[in-house]
Amino acid sequence: MNTLSICSKNEIYKIFQRKKYWIILTVTLGITVCGALIGLISNSIVSFSSQNYPYAILSLCCYAFVPFTALMLSSDLISSECERNELRFLLTKHASRTELLFGKLAAIMVYEFFLTAANVIAALIFSLIFSGFTSVNIFAVLMSVVITVIPIAAFVSFAGIISVFCKNGISAFGMGVAAYGGFTLLGLVFSRISSSIFTSYLTLYKMIIGQNVPVFRLFLGIGVLLGFSLLFLSAASMKFEKREF
Helices 169-189 and 149-165: crossing angle in degrees, nearest 10, is: 130
pLDDT at residue 5, rounded to an integer: 86
Computed from CA positions of residues 190, 195, 200, 205, in that sequence, does the dihedral angle turn out positive or negative? positive
| One-letter identity of residue 229 | S
Q: What mean pLDDT is predicted for residues 108-130?
A: 94
190 burial level (CB within 10 Å; 0-12, 13-18, 19+):
exposed
pLDDT at residue 224, rounded to an integer: 93
User: Looking at residue 132, what DSSP letter applies?
Assistant: -
Backbone angles phi, psi at 45, to 5 degrees: -60, -45
pLDDT at residue 91, rounded to an integer: 65
pLDDT at residue 153, rounded to an integer: 96
pLDDT at residue 134, rounded to an integer: 73
Question: What Cα–Cα distance (Å) separates residue 154 from each residue in 2, 13, 34, 90?
Answer: 23, 22, 29, 25
Q: What is the model's pTM?
A: 0.91
Q: What mean pLDDT is predicted for residues 40-48?
A: 55
36 burial level (CB within 10 Å; 0-12, 13-18, 19+):
buried
Mean per-residue pLDDT of the chain: 88
Quote the CA–CA distance of 225 and 173 in Å, as a whole number.
21
Instruction: Please measure the distance between the N-terminal and C-terminal CA atoms of the chain and give it in whole angstroms.
Output: 24
Using alpha carbons only, what angle is made at residue 27 by residues 23 and 28, rounded to the nearest 5 degrees?
120
Quote the CA–CA distance of 233 and 228 in Å, as a whole number.
8
The better pLDDT of the pair 132, 4 is held by 4
